[in-house]
Structure 1
């Protein structure tokens, strides 16, 4: 074979080339640092500044936390222990106030011998909420979910057991009205399902509960609302506002898109008026002005008034979030529901609302988190939420001068609750995306 012919024959490798490791700059921590923290001059400067800020915060806050004193009965005793063990002027947190007053921060003025009742109510709350949050659980547990609010009310406030039962019967009246009247006239059935329970609660529920209790008195020791406080108070107002505002907000969103002018403009007026005024103003309205519109001698519980105002305020925001989800749906979804022969409520229940609520999940949860944090505003109308109790503790002789330790504890409690809601929101979004695919 000539040299020219040998040079034109292509070379064919018969064995695999051994794999070589990638460059160190393209794998692992080095790659992440290069791409995220040191990708350019501006990022390098910002990273160095951020590292300095983190170092400064940790160097100042770290010793304060590590040197914390937990076993002390007063701020002066904390300082004595610090001076004796660490030297005068050492940075040290006085966490003795948490160990001494954590029960007050959590339960307020709730009787100590009845602390078991909020704990059991919390377990009932989680047990009732689980079937709603996790579809894998048996659907029969939803019956317990429907009963859980009345069980929690009975545990927290006490009194006669027949009161919550009589109130629960009102929902049975509304359900019976829908089943009996809606087949004849859908609009009349809907109106009856709203009006009849209200009339029952105002006119019949109280006398009925009193009559049954006089014959068969069963219940727990009654604890008035003025004894509620701390994180227990914030949780009750926040949870009640969240669960009551969601269905009300959905109804307001549907009413705002209604073709009936009266219903539409009533919803628009309500939403715009509620959203246009700060929550603190509505709380002052609930605290001071509402009694002027009630009959003389009427004793309307302040906590109940606050829950009503918080619910209405949150419902106005939820309505706009849900309306955004409804507006994001293509018109073909509505036309598809009409082509299947579904009436308005069937199309909303089966096709429109599930998709709209899926789109609205981030906005809804964001509103709920804001609502839960806004419960601290009740301190301005005389209710002792955690911040109000922190002020009362700081005003006492033993803990006069304490500051950051109380707010750190309160912030951690609120962070746990709000972070949990945010994480469940992410879980639900990912789950619905997987189900959609």
Structure 2
């Protein structure tokens, strides 16, 4: 056997120096591994750099470097007075800023719009932050209390001009129409020999429905007359009513265990009373500002927010209706979705603005902004229905079957098991619909509503600021506003998506 010594496995000379490692971290590593790691990526990097050089750099130079920041009229933004290429005319934006934000809303009442903005932000921000407690109360205030307060702030008026009298008048008109139709059927039954009995019976049934409707309307009409004739402040009656209801809740709820309900009930009535007392709703309220004077970002936010909030329940109802096993509900949902999705939004707006009044009774009028809101909500709800239906189809059938085996009803299965998972799957599609709706609000300018872009175009008619760069500056300013809102919604949706899908990460 060969003698193996230790020197056989021991290196006798020094190893050569190794080359320095390729840097894979930091800016240099990013360039090497992401931008210049292949011929294709090198070509794409060069093309992107040229595109940025010829687009972004001139845009920044126009908006910031060569821009005019101070001036009183168009003379400050003309090239012959500057001595160099003139960029954006920011004094024009400063002069028209109020028009862009409020439209033609009266200057003395613009604090009402600012207060509405402040209340909206104060309620929305805690709702979007996950760790802030009291989400149920916050959502209730944002979805139910804020719209009513915002209406009285933005439009004005008192209780006699809002829900009670308007609702009572509409329901009274409906009850009278039902009674008239029933009597007409009864008279037709008396003259038609063959199906006269059926028409007579149907007419009597319709008359009975009209009578029941009038019984339902009667208390509301009485409340309307009481509010209009009462000399006492309504908020005092609300406080007394809140105390009585709180006492009833305390007695019926079983003592101490009902304390939370008592506090919530009392706080609700007291809050309503405070709003009525502060805003003077029982004394005529704030001065009425017609919606034809609204404009700018105010109209854009009103239309987009109401459309976004209303599209979710409409979309959920239509998506569930399209999957329903009841033929009438399924056919109606399919017909509505396909009909609305088959026409452009501008057609829906034209129909809601100009044709809908033709189908209303002669003494009934609906505000133009309200008609546009109805059209936008129905249109966006039809698109939202298809997005949500895609999420419902992604849920395995075994989920509903397991819930049924546990004895859960269809409503509980849909509300607590199927629908939450479906909405989590389609968060990108939902937010994409929201962003599209926010941008599509610019179409309301075609039906005589001055949104942000409509106010911008109206400002071009002012000869005081007629310069070659006025239009570019205005569109750049509004584009930045649209980008800020859309980008914010996109980033927040990614945050929500990551938080809800954290259990799927490996």
Normalising by structure 2, we get a TM-score of 0.72
SS of the aligned residue for 1:25 comes to coil
The CA distance in 2 between the partners of 1:268 and 1:212, in whole Å, is 44
Q: Does 1:149 align with 2:147?
A: yes
1:49 maps to which of 47, 50, 55: 47
Q: Which residue of 2 aligns with 1:405?
A: 473
1:355 to 421, 434, 452: 421
Distance in 2, matches of 1:227 and 1:206, equals 31
How much does 1:331 deviate? 1.1
- After superposition, residues 258-407 of structure 1 pair within 5 angstroms as 258-401=324-467, 402-407=470-475
Distance change (3 Å), C-alpha of 1:205 and 1:384: farther
Deviation for aligned residue 1:8: 5.9
List per-residue Cα deviations over 1:103-161 (Å, max 9, x = no partner): 10110011111111112112222333345434432243344233121111111111114
Q: Please name the residue that 1:101 is paired with.
A: 96
Cα distance change, pair 221–229 in 1 and its aligned pair in 2 (3 A):
same
Quote the offset at 1:213 in angstroms: 4.1
Deviation at 1:166, TM superposition (A): 4.3
2:29 paired residue among 28, 31, 43: 31
Tell me which moved more, 124-133 or 392-401.
124-133
Find out whether 1:140 has 2:208 as its counterpart.
no
Aligned in 2, Cα 1:93/1:307: closer, same or farther, shift over 3 Å?
same
User: Cα distance 1:200–1:433, how it changes in 2: closer, same or farther (>3 A)?
Assistant: farther
Q: Which residue of structure 1 lines up, in the alignment, with residue 156 of structure 2? A: 158
Residues in 2 aligned to 1:64 and 1:387: alpha-carbon distance in whole angstroms: 21
Residue pairs, 1:1-150, within 5 angstroms: 4-7=4-7, 23-65=21-63, 66-79=65-78, 83-84=80-81, 86-87=82-83, 89-130=84-125, 132-136=127-131, 137-138=133-134, 139-145=136-142, 146-150=144-148
Point out the more displaced range, 312-321 or 152-161: 152-161
1:427 aligned onto 2:442: no
Cα deviation code 1:278-337 (max 9, x no counterpart): 001111111211111112243211100000000000000111111100000111111111
1:212 to 210, 220, 227: 227
Distance 1:149 1:22, change over 3 A: farther
Instruction: Quote the Cα distance in structure 1 between the aligned partners of 2:394 and 2:367.
Output: 41
Residue 101 to residue 202, structure 1, CA distance change in 2 (3 Å): farther
C-alpha separation in 1, matches of 2:219 and 2:350: 31
Taking the aligned partners of 1:236 and 1:207, their CA distance within structure 2 comes to 33
Q: Bigger shift: 20-29 or 410-419?
A: 20-29
Q: State the Cα distance separating 1:95 from its structure 2 match.
A: 1.2
Contact 1:376 1:386 in 2 (8 A): yes
Aligned to 1:195: none
| Contact persistence 1:94–1:405 (CA under 8 A) | yes
Deviation at 1:240, TM superposition (A): 0.5
Residue 197 of structure 2 is matched in structure 1 by none
Q: CA deviation at 1:97?
A: 0.9
1:418 aligns to 2:486 (yes or no) = yes
Q: 1:332 to 1:162 in 2, by over 3 A?
A: farther
- Give the direction of change, closer, same or farther, for the CA distance of 1:272–1:384 in structure 2 (3 Å limit): same
Unaligned runs of 5+ in 1: 12-19, 171-197
- Secondary structure of the residue aligned to 1:159 is coil
How far did 1:433 drift? 1.8
* CA root-mean-square deviation: 2.9
SS in 2 for 1:405: helix
Query: Cα–Cα, structure 1 residues 26 and 166, in superposed 2: closer, same or farther, change >3 Å?
Result: same
Classify 1:210/1:381 alpha carbon distance in 2 versus 1 (closer, same or farther; 3 Å). Answer: farther
Name which one, 1 or 2, has greater alpha-carbon Rg: 2
Shift of 1:199: 9.4
- For the residue of structure 1 that corresponds to 2:361, the secondary structure is coil
Report the number of matched residues. Answer: 398
C-alpha distance in structure 1 between counterparts of 2:54 and 2:311, whole Å: 43
Distance 2:331 2:415 in 1: 23
Q: CA, structure 1 residues 223+29, in 2 after alignment: closer, same or farther (shift >3 Å)? A: same
Distance between the aligned counterparts of 2:502 and 2:215, measured in 1? 45
Change (3 A) 1:203 1:354: farther
Separation in 2, partners of 1:266, 1:243: 22
Matched residues in 2 for 1:47 and 1:297: separation? 66
Q: Describe the superposition over 1:203-232 as per-residue Cα deviations: whole angstroms up to 9, x where unpaired.
A: 876874464144243321111110110110
Q: CA deviation at 1:64?
A: 2.1
* Deviation of the 1:22 alpha carbon: 6.9
